A and B are shown apart, each in its own frame.
Chain A
Amino acid sequence: MILVVAEQRAGTLSRGTWEAVALAQQVAGGEPVAVLVLGGGDASRVVAESGVGEVLTVEHDALASYTPDNYVAAVAQVVAQVTPQLIVMAHTYQARDYAPRLAARLKTALVADVIGVKGTGTAATFLRPMFQGKLVAEVAPQGAGPAVVTCQIGAFRADAVVRSSAQAVRAVPVTLAEASRQTVEAPFQEARQAVDLGQAERIVAVGRGIKTQDQIAIAERLAAAMGAELAASRPICDSGWLPMDRQVGSSGQTVAPKLYVALGISGAIQHLVGMKGSRTIVAINKDAEAPIFEVADYGIVGDLFEIVPAITAALQKLER
């Protein structure tokens, strides 16, 4: 049996949960899939109705708010009772916070950020990115016991999930300390964002290749000529060269505009996941092997400091 650990926020199942179910169904090879919903509630009913497998719930006051201590303890106890072959969940911020501790507690392998799977069951091997997306590794979990597998958001398709007739919901008893070592406060959003990149039809984004803060002006002129919003990969925002609300990527905004122009952006996974859904992607980079070219529709390999002003000039000529 393959055990999927669902993720929910305030009763709503995350999209990643369904992607994890898709992976579980692929690797199960005919074996049953079960879905663990910590906190139960409406989310467990939604899963049960989909018929993807038996739904296991753990309802305990200590799980009202997420803490790694209690999630690790709860999942570990469920695993001890139902003895799955594999444990699967989406590679979210929450999974990154507790899945490695769960694997260490269970003394089983962690296979994180999976983008593909070969074979089924305990013989399955997994594909995951390495070296900032420059390489893909095929890995095999070592050791006895269920490996903990987390899947990259968007790598498996929620709409590929095979549904069936409604299944039962079963409560699983666990023992949890009322007080975890973490005392959590309510999540909050930072100050209202000045720019909503999600609404932009065209985006010009800069990465490390822009080299200095001053030279962002080259990208600004292109954006103006194109009627585009300016965006950036995380390192540019970390340096304070552009505000965080212009960040595209796994820790910033996910965008899918008509046109996305990536200037001096290598295409590390954290950035790609934020923009690969764009309709037309253009990449300008001096490195022909940069991972950004894997998702680009059009590309120029060369010096952006010469090429970008030339594109701006060509656009201005069009206007006239």
Chain B
Amino acid sequence: MKIAVCIKQVPTREWQPRLTDDRTWIREADASFEMNEPDAYALEEALRLREQHGGEVVVCSAGPARVQQVIREALARGADRGVHVDDASLASADGFTVASALAHAMRDEAFDLVLTGLQSDDQGHAQTGVAIAELLGIPHSTIIMDVQIADGGVRVKRELEGGWFQWLTMPMPALLTIQSGINQLRYATLKGIMAAKKKEIRSAAPPQGAEAGQLPGLRIIGLSLPSKAKQTRLVSGPPAEAAAELVRLLRDEARAL
């Protein structure tokens, strides 16, 4: 089975927003980056499917040179090889633009399954995976909590609102966006890190000319801090004092105790 996993490199969870002067993007020089955690669950699922059914796991990522960090990380966790769509402008691009670049690089490889996380922790459109499915002309399902392979097809458990689920079956090739908690993540071992250095990362050019053309997308007019829904009463001081004050406020002012 040939499985592709699309992985995005995003600012770390601890990152504090710093914006460019025109406020249309973040100041990347001030950020540290990591693998988008939802994509880590997709990678883990791909590695488990390869363990069960054999085949190859190929990691695909789009963006500037720095995204090779997450490709190497994925190779260290066990992926077989990587594809890097090398284009710095993709770092701030919307989901459809990124999907076009990835689909272009993936088209000739004839993957049986394409897995992505259900959304990225940076822009969070929840779009790239599904758009890739449309561009490749393959069926898809989203927010998947279980994957079973049978008879040239895939049976998946899709998460719905409020604790509901639904199983559905599709022929392969197919694309799935994976929900967190589907599995437990493995992390790279030293052996894996060493082996990763020898694994291939193919560099792919982004789509040019007619295919790039006039892509529908989003232009970011400006980024800002969210407005506060409430005026938070912050309680300060050493822990014992702050705790006592908070309890007093909750009991006497908020009447919540």
Contacts and interface: CB of A to CB of B under 8 A. Distances in A.
Contact of A141 (B143, B165, B216): B216
Contacts of A101: 130-131, 133-134, 140
Interface residues of B, number: 83
Nearest to B125: A112
Interface residues of A, number: 96
B165 A190 contact: yes
A57 to B, nearest CB: 24
For chain B, what secondary structure do more than half of its interface residues adopt (helix, strand, loop), or is it mixed?
mixed
Contacts of A303: 239
Contacts of A239: 184
Given A141-B218, A307-B243, A300 B234 contact: yes
A300 B243 CA distance: 9
Interface string B51-80: 000000000000000000000000000000
Contacts of B131: 100-101, 103-104
Counting chain A CB atoms within 10 Å of each CB, the highest count among B118, B184, B242 belongs to B242
B209 interface: no
Contacts of B9: none
Contact of A240 (B130, B179, B184, B218): B184
B82 interface: no
Contact of B226 (A135, A235, A258, A287): A135
Interface in B178-195: 179-181, 184
B220 A314 contact: no
Nearest to B11: A131
A309 B219 CA distance: 47
Interface string A3-26: 000000000000000000000000
B140 to A, nearest CB: 7
A142 interface: yes
Interface in A266-310: 266, 269, 276, 279-283, 287, 289, 291, 293-303, 306-307, 309-310
Interface string B1-26: 00000000001011111000000001
Instruction: Across the A-B interface, give the 5 residue pairs with the lowest CB-CB distance, nearest first.
Output: A238-B181, A310-B243, A143-B216, A100-B130, A104-B134
